[in-house]
């Protein structure tokens, strides 16, 4: 039961941020499988759904319904899983923005020897970019230029990944080798989205060396290659190498801190190759059984979704604090700041977010969450500045 609850907490994020408050489902057990159906429900009032500048805000109500199922065989050491989820969104003020997304995935793990584990997965996802986000940011729905397309951008993504781990969890040294393949294709608004379609290949190697207790020193290298199917000049290869530590002090703190360099080299000589420091820090700290502080800090490159920019460099810092007031009630507060630089262009965006809310475990099978978030995005392109306030009520239901 505890294992399934933890899986639910991970699957249903950000609705469930603390596994201690996750629903405890009545698992449907057969001779071979454990089956856990779930239902996520949400209603949100968005003060600026399309992210338009002051004076052009579009306040609207969004309803979401998201049924899902988890099917699991095996145990903690060797298992196979099937996860499927469908999310329907209904925008009350404009049905053109309604959406139907889905994810379907298979993954598993097998112990070939006591010190050799293999894991892998594959999946397909259909998603969408809401109008006013991504490369449609700044578009106008109710007049003005540039005019938004008649419907949100939709895409289909297929992915596969695998990993091989050499060494047991208590071994002095361990090595993890990994690889992944991803294909993303946009399925509408082709005149504007063709340049976003890509095939991505990634490989990585990570070495862990125990330095004491449950703390490991780490060294890792990650390589990536992006091939854009429209044949544009954004094809590139990336390299990242990091040194750091990972730790897990039971009942107190878990986390990682890594730093190194990252590079992005373009096939087209007209584009300038990029190189910058890279860092990733994540800490979960429980000063007491009822308090949880989650901190993160990162800087990394990602692919550009804006014509004329070679890549995005994003620096993020975020914090979230929650307090388990009773066994059923947990208030929380979160804050984040992100700076995105569009390399090869003159644009830079600064986004800040403040949120607070409370989660209530009504019953073993039902969790409700009420939250408020305020978001501010400032850009060097003043036509892209906007503010947004969102009040949301969410529910996670199981058997």
Q: State the Cα angle at 231 between 309 and 305, rounded to 5°.
A: 30
Q: Which tokens go with 308?
A: 């004329």
Distance in angstroms (rounded) separating the CA atoms of residues 332 and 319: 11
For residues 155-183, average pLDDT: 94
Is 336 part of a structural domain of the chain? yes
Is 81 part of a structural domain of the chain? no
- For 257, the domain range is 103-398
Q: Tell me: pLDDT of 6 over 50.
A: no
Q: Are 22 and 365 in contact (CB under 8 A)?
A: no
Query: Residue 17 burial (CB < 10 Å; 0-12/13-18/19+)?
Result: buried
For the chain, the domain total comes to 1
Buried b (16+ CB within 10 A) or exposed e, 163-202: bebebeeeeeebebebebebbbbbeebeeebebbbbbbeb
Read off the pTM. Answer: 0.90
Is 169 part of a structural domain of the chain? yes
Q: How confident is the model at residue 251 (pLDDT cuts 50, 70, 90)?
A: low
Q: What is the pLDDT of residues 56-67, one digit of tens each?
A: 778 999 999 999
Q: What is the pLDDT of residues 17-47, one digit of tens each?
A: 555 678 888 889 888 889 999 999 999 999 9
Is 301 part of a structural domain of the chain? yes
Is 357 part of a structural domain of the chain? yes
The contacts found for 83-87 with CB under 8 angstroms, 24 or more apart, are: 83/11, 83/107, 85/11, 87/40
Is 26 part of a structural domain of the chain? no
Is 71 part of a structural domain of the chain? no
CATH assignment at residue 362: 2.40.170.20
Taken in order 76, 77, 80, 82, the sign of the CA dihedral is: positive
Q: Are 126 and 155 in contact (CB under 8 A)?
A: yes
Q: Which tokens go with 124?
A: 């397909």
Q: What is the pLDDT of residues 341-375, one digit of tens each?
A: 999 999 999 999 999 999 999 999 999 999 999 99
Q: Tell me: pLDDT of 135 over 70.
A: yes
Is 175 part of a structural domain of the chain? yes
Q: Which tokens go with 282?
A: 């994540």
Q: How confident is the model at residue 4 (pLDDT cuts 50, 70, 90)?
A: low
Q: What is the mean pLDDT of the chain?
A: 91
Q: Are 249 and 213 in contact (CB under 8 A)?
A: yes
Q: Are 41 and 64 in contact (CB under 8 A)?
A: yes
CB atoms within 10 A of CB 288: 9
Q: Which tokens go with 286?
A: 């429980």
- Residue 3: the pLDDT is 53
Distance in angstroms (rounded) separating the CA atoms of residues 352 and 330: 24
For residues 75-95, average pLDDT: 93
């Amino acid at each position: 039961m505890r294992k399934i609850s933890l899986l639910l907490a991970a699957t249903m994020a950000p609705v469930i941020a603390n596994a201690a408050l996750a629903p405890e489902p009545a698992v449907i057990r057969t001779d071979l499988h454990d089956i856990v159906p779930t239902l996520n429900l949400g209603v949100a009032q968005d003060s600026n759904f399309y992210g338009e500048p002051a004076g052009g805000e579009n306040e609207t109500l969004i309803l979401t319904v998201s049924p899902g199922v988890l099917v699991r065989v095996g145990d903690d050491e060797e298992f196979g899983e099937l996860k499927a989820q469908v999310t329907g969104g209904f925008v009350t003020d404009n049905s053109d923005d309604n959406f139907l997304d889905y994810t379907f995935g298979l993954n598993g793990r097998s112990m070939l020897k006591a010190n050799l584990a293999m894991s892998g997965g594959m999946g397909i996802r259909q998603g969408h970019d809401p109008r006013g986000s991504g490369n449609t940011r700044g578009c106008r729905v109710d007049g003005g230029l540039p005019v938004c397309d008649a419907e949100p951008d939709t895409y289909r993504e297929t992915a596969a990944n695998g990993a091989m781990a050499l060494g047991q969890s208590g071994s002095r040294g361990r090595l993890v080798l990994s690889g992944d393949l991803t294909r993303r294709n946009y399925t509408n608004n082709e005149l504007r989205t063709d340049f976003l379609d890509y095939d991505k290949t990634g490989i990585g190697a990570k070495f862990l060396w125990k330095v004491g207790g449950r703390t490991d020193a780490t060294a890792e290298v990650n390589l990536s290659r992006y091939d854009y199917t429209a044949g544009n000049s954004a094809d590139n290869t990336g390299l990242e190498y990091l040194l750091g530590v990972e730790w897990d002090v039971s009942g107190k703190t878990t986390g990682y801190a890594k730093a190194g360099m990252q590079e992005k080299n373009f096939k087209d000589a007209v584009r300038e190759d990029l190189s910058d420091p890279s860092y990733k820090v994540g800490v979960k700290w429980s000063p007491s059984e009822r308090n949880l502080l989650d901190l993160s800090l990162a800087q990394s490159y990602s692919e550009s979704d804006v014509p004329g920019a070679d890549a995005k460099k994003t620096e993020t810092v975020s914090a979230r604090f929650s307090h388990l007031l009773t066994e059923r009630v947990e208030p929380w507060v979160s804050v984040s700041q992100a700076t995105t630089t569009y390399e090869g262009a003159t644009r830079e965006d600064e986004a800040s977010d403040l949120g607070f809310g409370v989660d209530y475990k009504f019953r073993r099978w039902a969790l409700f969450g009420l939250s408020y978030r305020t978001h501010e995005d400032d850009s060097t392109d003043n036509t892209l500045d906007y503010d947004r306030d969102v009040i949301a009520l969410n529910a996670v239901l199981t058997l």
